[in-house]
């Protein structure tokens, strides 16, 4: 396998693991930050003591997702060209909207304060998360079509579970669920990301091992 494509798989693996790992580590240096109730994006708010490293990481993460696209295209284009294009477009939208945008347009510490920056952030993040939600489903279909049954089953299960956590994440912001378990925005976001990322992590690891 060409080293360029191997680099893409490493980039994808670092991006999906790093998103959760880096945000967890940085939260330890943010007094008053609550992983269960606060979103990952809150780490980059103007009052955050870890704003700079968080924003730098989000930019790097977005670039890593973009770097991985040629490897994903090479892996699946022979199975279904049009579906592979949708897959890489969805990942690109997430990398730009939910990662790179986050580095330049931050949310505020509380949602009561709305600025142009927070509006830009919300638009990019919402669009990125919505399209990325279907990445495990696309991977499931492509895997089934290429005979990768185990990855296909894992991907479809991850899609269903991530959809549940995404719904909970959206509901957590509603006033009627305040002070209930559903209001744990940060928890649902992180669980949603884990199951959206898992199929990509498995495919990345599989291709890295096949190349060694």
Tens digit of each residue's pLDDT (9 = 90 or more) over 34-86:
999 998 988 988 888 999 999 999 999 999 999 999 999 999 999 999 999 99
Give CA–CA dist 64/166, Å, rounded: 23
Q: What is the extent of the structural domain holding 119?
A: 3-211
The domain total for the chain is: 1
CA dist 189 → 38, 82, 173, 203 (Å): 9, 29, 12, 22
Q: Which two tokens stand for residue 91?
A: 């990942």
Q: Which two tokens stand for residue 77?
A: 């284009």
What are 161-178's pLDDT values in tens digits?
Answer: 999 999 999 998 888 888
pLDDT of residue 113: 61
pLDDT of residue 117: 72
pLDDT of residue 152: 97
Q: Global pTM?
A: 0.92
Nearest Cα neighbor of 101 from 24, 17, 29, 44 is 44
Place of tokens 């295209």: 73
């Amino acid at each position: 396998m060409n080293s360029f494509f191997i680099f893409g798989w490493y980039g994808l693996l670092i991006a999906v693991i790093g998103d959760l790992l880096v945000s967890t580590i940085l939260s330890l240096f943010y007094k008053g930050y609550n992983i269960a109730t606060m979103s990952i994006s809150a780490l980059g708010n103007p009052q955050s003591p870890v704003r700079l490293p968080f924003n730098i990481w989000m930019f790097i993460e977005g670039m890593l997702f973009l770097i991985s696209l040629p490897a994903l295209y090479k892996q699946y284009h022979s199975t279904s060209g049009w579906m592979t294009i949708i897959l890489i477009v969805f990942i690109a939208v997430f990398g730009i909207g939910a990662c790179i945008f986050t580095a330049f347009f931050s949310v505020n510490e509380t949602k009561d304060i709305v600025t142009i920056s927070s509006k830009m952030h919300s638009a990019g993040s919402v669009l990125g998360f919505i399209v990325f939600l279907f990445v495990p489903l696309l991977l499931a279909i492509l895997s089934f079509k290429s005979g990768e049954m185990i990855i296909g089953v894992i991907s479809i299960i991850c899609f269903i579970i991530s959809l549940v956590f995404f719904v909970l994440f959206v509901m957590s912001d509603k006033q009627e669920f305040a002070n209930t378990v559903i209001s744990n925005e940060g928890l649902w976001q992180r669980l949603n990301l884990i199951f959206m990322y898992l199929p990509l992590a498995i495919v990345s690891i599989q291709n890295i091992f096949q190349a060694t």
